[in-house]
Amino acid sequence: MLFLGKHDYSMDERGRVPMPPRFREALMQGIILTQGAPDRCIRAYPADGFEQQAAHYLKEPITSPTGRVMRRAFFSGAYQSELDRQGRVLVPPVLRQWANLEGQVVVVGTGEGIEIWDAAGFEAALTTEEDDFRQTLGLSAGQAGSE
């Protein structure tokens, strides 16, 4: 399944975030939450999707300094969770703090996974990315693409 779209939700006081109805079936076997570094968001994957992501980090031997650093960074910030009956995932406090999650959140499909953002943080990231994209193309802020 491809996870698509931008979905606005409220995180409750216990740290539960609703998942879009179309995502829920793919997440019924479990969901893995991890830091979205370098972005201040949470990345979420169905269990099998996380295994595919993990394979990348497991290629580098743990005996190498790079392998150890990569594995620690990726696996130490990962938490297993599951959806409750209402289709919500409980985000651990350490991840809520990492991503500055409070109140309004945005759940974003990224194809093979999901990102959970603080609503204001997501809008700021979009603005920065748009500016970077325009700069890469050599466009000014008010200039459209060439005809």
Which pLDDT tens digit goes with each residue over 93-117?
999 999 999 999 999 999 999 999 9
Q: Which two tokens stand for residue 79?
A: 């938490």
Domain presence at residue 143: no
| 106 close to 116: Cβ distance less than 8 angstroms | yes
pLDDT grade for 38, boundaries at 50, 70 and 90? confident
* Residue 102 pLDDT: 94
Mean pLDDT of 114-133: 85
Domain presence at residue 147: no
CATH of the domain at 92: 3.40.1550.20
Domain presence at residue 145: no
Could you tell me which residue, 70 or 81, shows the higher pLDDT? Answer: 81
Domain presence at residue 21: yes
pTM of the model: 0.83
| 47 close to 5: Cβ distance less than 8 angstroms | no
Domain presence at residue 121: yes
Domain presence at residue 144: no
What span, in angstroms and rounded, lies between the C-alpha atoms of 116 and 101?
9
* Residue 144 pLDDT: 52
Cis peptide before 92 (omega within 30 of 0): no
HSE-CB at 109 with a 13 A cutoff on CA atoms is 17
Quick one: which of 45, 96, 78 has its CA closest to 105?
A: 96
Mean pLDDT of 39-50: 93
Domain total of the chain:
1
Give CA angle at 61 (49, 114), nearest 5°.
20
**Domain residue limits at 113:** 6-137
Say whether pLDDT at 142 is over 90: no
Quick one: which of 39, 67, 46 has its CA closest to 1?
A: 46
Domain presence at residue 32: yes
Say whether pLDDT at 147 is over 60: no
Least confident of 46-50, 74-78, 115-119, 140-144: 140-144
Q: Which two tokens stand for residue 130?
A: 């748009």
What span, in angstroms and rounded, lies between the C-alpha atoms of 97 and 15?
11
Domain presence at residue 146: no
